Structure 1
Amino acid sequence: MSEPAQLRRAVASSFLGSVIEYYDFLLYATASAVVFSQVFFTGLDPLVATVASLGTFATGYLARPLGGVIFGHFGDRLGRKRMLVLTMVLMGVASFLIGVLPTYRQIGALAPVGLVLLRVLQGVAVGGEWGGAVLMSAEHATSRRGLWASFTNAGAPCGMLLSTAALTGTAAVVGEEAFLAWGWRVPFLLSIVLLGLGVFVRLKVEESPVFRAAQREQGRSSRRPPLFEVLRNHPRPLLLGIGAGLAAFVAQATLTTFVLAYGVQAGFTRQTVLNGITVSSACAVVGIIGWSAVSDRLGRRPVLLAGVVVMAGYGFVLFPMIDSGDRVLLTLALVLGQAVVHPMMYGPLAALYTELFRTGARYTGASLGYQLASVGGGLAPVFFAQLQKLGLGTGAVSGTIAAFCALAAVCVLLLPETSRHDLASVNSVNSVKEP
């Protein structure tokens, strides 16, 4: 098959795989905000139950770095393609099992324990998925790497769109009472269908040519584990990459999971907030791909820096727009945040993390950097809910977002510009000049 055709297939596979993975992963996020507090944490004060439910949501993010290390190790040794199939199977099975998990009323404390364990498996799966998907696109691309790699990141809002639509559609069809009783399970059970489709597409993609070339040059494996090489030889790019990405995940969690719970508390119906998130998620796909393409021309650093600066200010505008009680302003606030501002700081990350590490440790390095940064997205809604419980206003939430943006700005300025790196050069990262 020709190189352009294989690139298109790799990009399509990465995008579809990302959509499916994030459908499962973010389906849990939405359910944790609107359902799980009433199903798995029965008997608690409503606010305490929400905090507990969001806490189980956070465990998935805490497990993501572990998935990045495990699948990154074998992805750097055995190849990207095999790991992508395994991560998809793991995610699909875990999500399906959540759909059949008994409730608290049925088995007591074992219900939330089982929920946490399955959420950990989801986190491990998505932690291994992202790095491999991005590398399959980026390492097949001979130009416009930011554009092609961004399709993996664009899969996240598509997954959010699909998961939100699944929950919304199910609730509309069966009604509120039936939805809380059993209807919420339907979107999770559908994961098994998406799993079959995703695995079929993944098996049609060839292994990354950059990885194959590196294997021929270096042999089947190296003496040192990829994780050891990343931590010993490239700690600076790893740490700066984590710092540069933290704000994007804090903002992402704010604009989806936390805003869903906050909007309902502000007086909107759950459906109204879900509709706003659905519209903004659809628009975010265009924003992510568009800003990533711009980063191919202007560089990763200028686009990322502009994004974190604008988001630092936007955090103080977001909640007053929601507090207005106007559904048009609510939707506008979400669209501006998810589709315009956030993609500037999120879209180029796919290419950036790929370009920071050499081929033999790239899966591990890119996965570890991205997934450690993503922990901020898991902890942010829990932290913000605690701020509410303490009686602090949204100013504290906005200030926290701004602080993470300031950290990201410093890290971006300290990182080298990577958009011109040659991924085909096994040791290309060694020649990077620090600013």
Structure 2
Amino acid sequence: MASIAIEEKLAQPALADKSMMTKVVVSSFIGNTIEFYDFLVYGLAAALVFGKVFFPNSTPLAAILASFATFGVGFVARPLGGIFFGHLGDTVGRKKTLVITLVGMGTATSLIGLLPTYDQIGVLAPVLLVILRFLQGFAVGGEWGGAMLIVVENAPANRRGFFSAWPQTGGFSGQLLATGAFTLVGFLPDDQLLSWGWRLPFLASAILVAFGLYLRSKLDETAVFKQTQAQAKSQEPHPAPFVEVFSKSWRSLLLIMLLRFAESVPFFLVTVFAVSYATGQLGVPKQTLLNVIMVTCLIAFPAHGFFGALSDKVGRRPIYIFGALFAAASAFPFFYLLQTGNMLLIALGYVLLINVAHNSINAVQPSFFTELFGARVRYSGASIGHQFGAIVAGGATPFVAKSLSAADGNGWTYVAAYVVVGALVSALAAYFGPETSKRILTETR
């Protein structure tokens, strides 16, 4: 018992340092905000602008599909970034790696805002767009795993779910900022929006990056990483972290990929596809959707805190199963409410599918996913698993949803069924997965 207590103390060095814990949480929150701001600004631009700016000679449907395809390119790059930056994070350090990913995300996003259009340089414009989208996704691939595990490795053992849930709300603060940015430029006349207005949200990313870099410069390396590095000097050499993850922890990687369906499919459905579908097919005013999304984002903050704290008491699996089943049950009601065109009813649909179903899942992912791996390969394991899941469950969602809608005569039944199937897959994965809330983070297994 004494040895376990000593090991747990080493694993949780920040218990008495509330100031450092605050810095860690805020820093990770800002990093996650930037990650999602960059990606969601791109998603909104793909839905509302890029078809006309970069694919003007295509039919409307082909232009939308091409825009969403470039959205998916970023997700293809994510696991490659997860492998590369996961290796750096497990060998060089969490803090240094997170500085690199932050600069990479911000640089790629800002350069997208400076791209010439198709009318200016022809086919080279969408080619450059795809390249920058790839680089953006590559940097993002190493951001989430590091930002989340640096919180988990510093948090008290009995509050890892609660503390790591707050940085996860960066997805919603990023959504608020991205939606707010497009709301502001949306007041511009169409010719100004298509010529220069759409660029402003991308260029604004540089401001967020500067703030994030300042915060991360104040952080210390985690004691878990330092202890793992010290132990490695007295042990036999190990394979590269990503090799060890694929060879010994592939079940955990597969589990994360399956778990992500219930979280990623609903999120990107309502933030990307639903905006395009509701405004294009249902005639819902664009501003109505943007207002509803912003309200949903505000509710997400207390929801994450609640579900994260609850997972510390009852475990990660019960919360995840609840959220996945609720997502399955909410898919069809969401579209019924969406097609009413009534702002209050649309907001109700978003609250059910996002604030209850998605938020309960999203809140426990940082603790659940990082706790699945040993200290020596935690950055690699969490990053690779999360980003491979992003390809399968997230990056393809707008494209798949648009294709399913077209196959259904521009309807939504097939799309709702897609959400149900994905959510049930995640519920089963969580049911058969391990409970991780009591694990000691210094274990290297």
TM-score bin, normalised by smaller chain: over 0.9
Provide the residue aligned with 1:404 in structure 2: 422
Q: Equivalent residue of 2:425, what SS?
A: helix
Distance in 2 between the 1:189 and 1:86 partners? 19
Give the conservation status (yes or no) of the 8 Å contact 1:21–1:91.
yes
- 1:23-102 aligned at under 5 Å gives the runs 23-102=37-116
Residues 1:419 and 2:433 are matched in the alignment: no
Give per-residue Cα distances to partners, 1:198-224, cap 9 Å, x unaligned. 111111011111111111111399431
Q: CA deviation at 1:395?
A: 1.5
Give the AA of the match of 2:278.
G
Provide the residue aligned with 2:400 in structure 1: 383
Residues 1:239 and 2:239 are matched in the alignment: no
Provide the residue aligned with 1:207 in structure 2: 221
Give per-residue Cα distances to partners, 1:142-199, cap 9 Å, x unaligned. 2300111112211011101111101111222x33331122111011111112211111
Give the AA of the match of 1:255.
V
Distance in 2 between the 1:134 and 1:347 partners? 11
Corresponding residue pairs, total: 426
Give per-residue Cα distances to partners, 1:378-426, cap 9 Å, x unaligned. 1011011111222353111111111111211111111111011111x23
Give the conservation status (yes or no) of the 8 Å contact 2:408–2:414.
no
- 1:8-407 aligned at under 5 Å gives the runs 8-143=22-157, 144-172=159-187, 174-219=188-233, 222-264=237-279, 265-375=281-391, 376-392=393-409, 393-407=411-425
Give per-residue Cα distances to partners, 1:267-293, cap 9 Å, x unaligned. 112121111111112212222222111
Moved more, 243-252 or 363-372: 243-252
Paired-residue identity, %: 40
Give the AA of the match of 1:14.
S
Give the AA of the match of 1:417.
E
Give the conservation status (yes or no) of the 8 Å contact 1:11–1:151.
yes
Provide the residue aligned with 2:7 in structure 1: none
Distance in 1 between the 2:293 and 2:110 partners? 24
Q: Equivalent residue of 2:221, what SS?
A: coil
Give the conservation status (yes or no) of the 8 Å contact 1:10–1:136.
yes
Distance in 2 between the 1:40 and 1:288 partners? 37
Give per-residue Cα distances to partners, 1:321-377, cap 9 Å, x unaligned. 111121221122122222122111221111111100001100000011111111211
Distance in 1 between the 2:261 and 2:306 partners? 21
Give the conservation status (yes or no) of the 8 Å contact 2:29–2:170.
yes
Q: Equivalent residue of 1:140, what SS?
A: coil
Give the AA of the match of 2:368.
L
Give the AA of the match of 1:87.
T
Provide the residue aligned with 1:3 in structure 2: 17
Give the AA of the match of 1:120.
F
Distance in 2 between the 1:11 and 1:216 partners? 26
Provide the residue aligned with 1:433 in structure 2: none
Give the conservation status (yes or no) of the 8 Å contact 2:326–2:356.
no
Distance in 2 between the 1:140 and 1:55 partners? 38
Distance in 2 between the 1:192 and 1:287 partners? 29
Gap regions ≥5 residues in structure 1 = 431-435
Distance in 1 between the 2:143 and 2:122 partners? 33
Q: Equivalent residue of 2:156, what SS?
A: coil
Give the conservation status (yes or no) of the 8 Å contact 1:286–1:339.
no
Distance in 2 between the 1:75 and 1:220 partners? 20
Give the conservation status (yes or no) of the 8 Å contact 2:70–2:133.
yes
Q: CA deviation at 1:62?
A: 1.5
Q: TM-score, normalised by structure 1?
A: 0.95
Q: CA deviation at 1:67?
A: 0.9
Give the conservation status (yes or no) of the 8 Å contact 1:154–1:289.
no
Distance in 2 between the 1:190 and 1:304 partners? 35
Give per-residue Cα distances to partners, 1:36-86, cap 9 Å, x unaligned. 111111021112111110111111111111111110001000100011000
Give the conservation status (yes or no) of the 8 Å contact 2:94–2:221.
yes
Give the conservation status (yes or no) of the 8 Å contact 1:240–1:414.
no
Distance in 2 between the 1:340 and 1:255 partners? 14
Q: CA deviation at 1:28?
A: 0.5
Residues 220 and 184 of structure 1, relative CA distance in 2, 3 Å threshold: farther
Distance in 2 between the 1:404 and 1:77 partners? 35
Distance in 2 between the 1:342 and 1:193 partners? 29
Distance in 1 between the 2:41 and 2:302 partners? 21
Give the conservation status (yes or no) of the 8 Å contact 2:262–2:426.
yes
Distance in 1 between the 2:290 and 2:247 partners? 45
Distance in 1 between the 2:233 and 2:336 partners? 58
Distance in 1 between the 2:100 and 2:41 partners? 20
